């Protein structure tokens, strides 16, 4: 079955910018239109129409940043009937208009071609490592090593610190999963730590050892001229990034902040200057009140927030997938979710919780 779906994906990609016809796809595959549409959605967790929209719009974002083509030309080239239709689709996905994105091309979440092959291990491309070292050299010249790198999770922390990818700067992991369980307004207060520990079903001492202790040695006890935040583009990382930025506002941090949007599979990095001002409001709106904030957002953050708020709904794309695949073992469902929904960035433990909660409701 996976081979058939991959054949469909390959055909769709070859005809992505043409006038798509489900009838032509079905004829090429040798199955009925209904069967192709149903099986694609069942196996991948996304409709053909939505997949095509995400792919076309993501590829158009590359043209916006890498070419001087007019927006109407980019719209037509990427299969949109008008500039207005293109602008609506682009803003719905990325939270900004194509013109605004071209003027200020901030990080966004990638939508790469779907593959039904098992996820493979990735190794850092040497060219990406050299790019990181170039960033490190520039920061060294500007800030004389008074730099703290906060990395999303223990694995990234160990990779960076063991290889000294940012030179002699300080390193600290942010070992949290803010996209799950309750939180409160005052970040890292005693009440915050207790609420988070309770949500994770661990003791307060365990929470402090895992999450707080690495920050006590750095962020909580030293003054830095510059803080570099290394967080991926998925929803998991974006909720953590919002929390760290909100905390920096909470303590009135006055130094320079860079967000290094990193694709954790390849270590490709895009640097963005961060100006504090709205991130505590964003944190409170999203993670405390569970609503979309009324401020402008980086596209990647907008995408992460949309996914987070959708995940809070009982009837979301992940729970739908779980409900329609209950004939599979938990291990198989988790493996499939990790492969099909990388934009969420959830891990085994979070998916197991969702599987159990979904099956209990049923």
How many domains, the chain? 3
227 lies in some domain: yes
Burial of 361 (0-12, 13-18, 19+ CB in 10 A): exposed
Let me know whether 75 and 132 are in one domain.
Answer: no
Question: Phi/psi zone of residue 114: left (φ > 0), alpha (ψ -120 to 50 degrees), beta?
Answer: beta
How confident is the model over 62-100, as pLDDT tens digits?
999 999 999 999 999 999 999 999 999 999 999 999 999
113 lies in some domain: no
Query: Token digits for 195?
Result: 């609420």
Name the band, by pLDDT with cuts 50, 70 and 90, for residue 358: confident
Let me know whether 304 and 327 are in one domain.
Answer: no
Mean pLDDT of the chain: 91
Q: How far apart are CA 298 and CA 104, in angstroms?
A: 10
Name the band, by pLDDT with cuts 50, 70 and 90, for residue 124: very low
Share of the chain above pLDDT 70, in %: 91
Across the strands, what pairs with 343?
Answer: none
Let me know whether 170 and 68 are in one domain.
Answer: no
Let me know whether 70 and 181 are in one domain.
Answer: no
Contacts of 42 (CB under 8 A, 6+ apart): 324
CATH code at position 84: 1.10.10.60
Let me know whether 303 and 327 are in one domain.
Answer: no
183 lies in some domain: yes
Let me know whether 158 and 289 are in one domain.
Answer: yes
- Range of the structural domain that residue 13 is part of: 2-103
Let me know whether 232 and 255 are in one domain.
Answer: yes
115 lies in some domain: no
Between 35 and 125, the more confident residue is: 35
What number is the average pLDDT over the span 109-131? 67
11 lies in some domain: yes
117 lies in some domain: no
Query: Token digits for 116?
Result: 């039904």
Q: Residue 123 above 50 pLDDT?
A: no
- Nearest-5° Cα angle at 13, 10 to 15: 110
Let me know whether 182 and 65 are in one domain.
Answer: no
Q: How far apart are CA 347 and CA 360, in angstroms?
A: 20
Name the band, by pLDDT with cuts 50, 70 and 90, for residue 141: low
301 lies in some domain: yes
CATH code at position 207: 3.40.50
Let me know whether 57 and 156 are in one domain.
Answer: no
68, 88, 103 — which closes off a domain?
103
Q: How far apart are CA 41 and CA 51, in angstroms?
A: 10
Q: Residue 11 above 50 pLDDT?
A: yes
Let me know whether 208 and 140 are in one domain.
Answer: yes
Closest CA to 115 of 188, 51, 170: 51
69, 103, 137 — which closes off a domain?
103
Let me know whether 221 and 155 are in one domain.
Answer: yes
Let me know whether 208 and 277 are in one domain.
Answer: yes
Name the band, by pLDDT with cuts 50, 70 and 90, for residue 182: very high
103, 134, 167 — which closes off a domain?
103
In this prediction the pTM is 0.91
Burial of 281 (0-12, 13-18, 19+ CB in 10 A): middle
111 lies in some domain: no
Ranges 75-79, 266-270, 275-279, 356-360: which has the least confidence: 266-270
Q: Which helix (H) or strand (E) holds 269?
A: strand 268-274
């Amino acid at each position: 079955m996976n081979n058939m779906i991959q054949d469909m994906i390959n055909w769709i990609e070859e005809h992505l910018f043409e006038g798509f016809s489900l009838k032509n796809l079905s004829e090429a595959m040798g199955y009925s239109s209904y069967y192709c549409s149903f099986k694609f959605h069942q196996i991948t967790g996304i409709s053909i129409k939505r997949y095509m929209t995400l792919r076309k719009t993501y590829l158009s974002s590359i043209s916006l940043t890498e070419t001087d083509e007019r927006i109407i030309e980019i719209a037509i080239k990427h299969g949109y009937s008008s500039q207005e239709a293109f602008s609506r689709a682009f803003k719905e996905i990325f939270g900004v208009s194509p013109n605004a994105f071209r003027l200020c091309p901030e990080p966004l979440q990638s939508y790469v071609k779907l593959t039904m092959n098992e996820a493979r291990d990735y190794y850092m491309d040497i060219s990406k490592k050299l790019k990181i070292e170039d960033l490190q050299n520039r920061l060294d010249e500007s800030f004389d090593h008074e730099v703290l790198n906060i990395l999303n999770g223990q694995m990234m922390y160990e990779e960076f610190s063991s290889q000294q990818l940012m030179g002699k700067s300080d390193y600290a992991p942010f070992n949290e999963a803010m996209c799950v369980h309750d939180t409160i307004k005052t970040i890292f207060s005693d009440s915050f730590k207790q609420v988070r520990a309770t949500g994770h079903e661990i003791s307060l001492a365990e929470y402090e050892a895992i999450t707080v202790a690495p920050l006590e040695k750095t962020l909580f006890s030293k003054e830095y001229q510059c803080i570099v935040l290394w967080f991926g583009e998925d929803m998991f990382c974006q909720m953590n990034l919002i929390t760290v930025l909100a905390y920096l506002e909470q303590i009135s941090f006055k130094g320079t902040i860079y967000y290094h949007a990193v694709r954790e599979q390849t270590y490709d990095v895009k640097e963005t200057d961060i100006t504090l001002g709205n991130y505590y409001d964003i944190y409170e709106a999203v993670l405390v009140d569970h609503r979309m904030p009324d401020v402008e957002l980086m596209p990647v953050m907008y995408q992460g927030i949309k996914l987070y708020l959708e995940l809070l709904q009982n009837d979301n794309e992940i729970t739908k997938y779980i409900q329609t695949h209950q004939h599979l073992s938990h291990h198989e469902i988790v493996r499939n979710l990790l492969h099909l929904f990388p934009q969420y960035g959830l891990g085994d433990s979070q998916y197991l919780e969702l599987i159990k909660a979904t099956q209990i409701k049923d």
